[in-house]
Structure 1
Amino acid sequence: MRPHYYLSLLATHDHHRGKGLGMALLRENLALIDAEGMPAYLESTKRGIFSRYERLGFGSIGAFTLPGSGPRVDQLWREPCGFRAKASRQR
C-alpha cells in the first residue's frame, strides 16, 4: 500500500451522537489530508454508516473478519480531492 493517512478510532460520546460531530471532525481531517495531496484509509465495523463514508469519497477495497466471533471489518480508501484528475492525466 502506498503512503497514506490511516484514520483510526473516530468516535463520539453517546450523549453527542446524532449531531453530526463525528462527520464534521472527519471532514476537517480530510481537508488537511487533501491539502497534502495524500490518500486516506480507514477501517469500520459499522455497516450502517458506510454510505456516509462513500459520500466523502471513500470506496471499499476489501474486508476481513476478526478471529473467533469477531466483527466484519470493512476497509475503505479515499484518494485526495482535487488530485484525482491530475493523477488520471498522468497515466
Structure 2
Amino acid sequence: MPLGLMLGIGRTFRRKRTSSLDILSSKRAPRDYYKGKNCKPTGFHTRKGGYVIQPEKLPNYVVPDLTDFKLKPYVSQVAREIKTAESTETSK
C-alpha cells in the first residue's frame, strides 16, 4: 500500500478537536440554559407560565423640550463647507 494512501485514510478517521472558544448556544449547553439576547429583564416569570412586568425595571427616557431649537434632527449626506470668521482665524 502506498504511503500517501495510508496517510489519507488516517486523516479521515481522525476527529477534529472542538474549540473551547465556540459560541455557547442553547443547543450546546445544559438543558436549562437560556442565553437570551443580551438585554435586561423587565419582569419575572410566574409559576403558571405568566409574565409580570415591573414598572421600575422598564427603561425611562428623559427627552428635553426641543421647541425653538435651531438645529435640524438630520444631517445632509452632501454637506457644504461654510467659511466663518472663526475658522479662518484658527487656520492661520
Coarse TM-score class (shorter-chain normalised): under 0.3
More helix by share: 1
Task: Report the TM-score when normalising by structure 2.
Answer: 0.18
Larger Rg: 2
Task: Report the TM-score when normalising by structure 1.
Answer: 0.19
**Greater RCO, CA 8 A, separation 6+:** 1
More strand by share: 1
